[in-house]
């Protein structure tokens, strides 16, 4: 495994033939988009979504 340390918080590692970003030693997972399948009758219950990370396990 190759690692490039940018600063005390940010590092890059080459794992399984791809570059992985680590922030404060935690792997950073980037999402391109979030697709929600919401029934039109329930749409108002999603008015307060603030974070994709909170929704990714739903």
Q: What DSSP line would sit under 10-55, residue for residue?
A: EEEEEETTEEEEEETTEE----S-------GGGGGGGTT---HHHH
What is the side-by-side order of every strand in the sheet holding 26-27? 2-5, 10-15, 18-23, 26-27
Whether the pTM exceeds 0.85: the reply is no
Q: What does the pLDDT profile of the chain (58 residues) look like in tens digits?
A: 899 999 999 999 999 999 999 999 999 987 767 677 888 888 888 777 776 665 554 4
Cα 26 from Cα 46, distance rounded (Å): 29
Give the angle subtended at the CA of 36 by the CAs of 23 and 22, to the nearest 5°: 10
């Amino acid at each position: 495994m190759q690692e490039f340390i940018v600063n005390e918080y940010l590092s890059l590692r080459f794992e399984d033939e791809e570059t992985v970003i680590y922030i404060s030693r935690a792997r950073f997972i980037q999402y391109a988009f979030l697709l929600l399948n919401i029934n039109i009758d329930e749409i108002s219950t999603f008015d307060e979504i603030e974070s994709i990370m909170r929704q990714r396990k739903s």
